[in-house]
Amino acid sequence: MTAVQKRVLVNKIILALSTLSAVVAIAFLFWILGVLVMKGVGALNWNIFIYEGAPPGYAESGLKHALVGQAILVGLATVIGVPLGILAGTYLSEYGKNSKLAHLIRDISDIMMSAPSIVIGAFVYAVVVMPMGHFSAWAGSIALAIIMIPIILRTTDDMLQLVPGTLREAAFALGAPKYKVIMDVVYRGAKAGILTGVLLGIARVGGETAPLLFTSFNDNFFTTNLNDAMPSLTVTMFNYAISPYADWQQLGWAAAFILSMFILGLNIVGRLILYFGKGK
């Protein structure tokens, strides 16, 4: 075998190995999705959207309570987290820039992004649930918002920095005050990126279970009271999945399927916005 033949052979082996690894990696995703679709679609029916939780054995049981609860928890977290995240990202990109404080905030935010979510749940338990004396939707949403903020903060910071400095200068050169430059020119230039960050942030917290366990806790019944424990798809899924009852397990599959599709959808939409927003 000549040296060239040997190199070609090594090349082929490496190519085959890396392709195989990529296939294995992505295979798990499709495996998970496949199982979810098979079990989840089978468990879907209209009752799920009409009825709330019921003891095992009742035909009229559904997930209405968890679906609405999930929407409230994530919606409230979005209302709290998005403005804070975007404003903090704006500070970093437009005001803090390369100052020590800005770098410190960026570093801390990166650390927060990788913090175990259950730790954030425990923290909210200590500072919100304990003083209030009971679980609440507020506590759950605050925990989710804390997880969401560093994601939105960082994407906002990154996306605003992509807006060319000359565009800012051009607005200043027309006599625009700084807040106008940011709102009219910088935000507009980065809106696709910021929106993507928001969607990815929502998708990230939408699948969280641990921080809800001891903040919003769970409930098997429909409620919209923010000062009460609130059901969520994730915790409901957890409870139903580990139960010994076949009908509860079915509901668990349905919850898993609905939640996964929601998060998958958000991720896809987020990426599409970024893709088409940049193309403009």
Partner 1 sequence: MASIIDIKDECALQVRDFEFTYKGADAPSLKKVTMPIAKNSITALIGPSGCGKTTLLRAFNRMHDLYPGNAYKGEIEFEGRNILDPKEDLIHLRTKIGMIFQKPTAFPMSIFDNVAYGMRLQGIKNKTELNDRVEKALKDAAIWKEVSDRLKNDANGLSGGQQQRLCIARAIAVEPEVLLFDEPTSALDPISTQGIEKLVIELKEKVSIIIVTHNMQQAARVSDYTGFMYLGELIELGHTEELFVTPKEKLTQEYITGKFG
Q: What is the Cα–Cα distance from 89 to 31, expressed in whole angstroms? A: 37
Binder among 37, 71, 106, 180 for partner 1 (CB under 8 A): 180
Regarding 195 and contact with partner 1 (CB under 8 A), the answer is no
In the complex with partner 1, the residue whose CB is nearer, 131 or 177, is 177
Regarding 184 and contact with partner 1 (CB under 8 A), the answer is yes
Regarding 278 and contact with partner 1 (CB under 8 A), the answer is no
Regarding 188 and contact with partner 1 (CB under 8 A), the answer is yes
Binder among 123, 125, 172, 222 for partner 1 (CB under 8 A): 172
Q: Where are the alpha helices (DSSP H) in the chain?
A: 3-43, 47-50, 64-90, 100-113, 117-124, 130-132, 137-162, 165-173, 178-180, 187-206, 210-213, 233-241, 246-279
Regarding 159 and contact with partner 1 (CB under 8 A), the answer is no
SS (H, E, C) 177-208: CHHHHHHHHHHHHHHHHHHHHHHHHHHHHHCC
Segment contacting partner 1 by CB under 8 A, of 88-96, 122-130, 148-156, 170-178: 170-178
Regarding 102 and contact with partner 1 (CB under 8 A), the answer is no
Q: What is the Cα–Cα distance from 56 to 54, expressed in whole angstroms? A: 6
Question: Nearest 5°: phi and psi at 48?
Answer: -55, -35
In the complex with partner 1, the residue whose CB is nearer, 110 or 169, is 169
Q: What is the Cα–Cα distance from 263 to 248, expressed in whole angstroms? A: 22
Regarding 169 and contact with partner 1 (CB under 8 A), the answer is yes
Site for partner 1 in 215-254 (CB under 8 A): none
Can you give the binding site for partner 1, defined by CB under 8 A?
164, 166-177, 180, 184-185, 188-189, 280
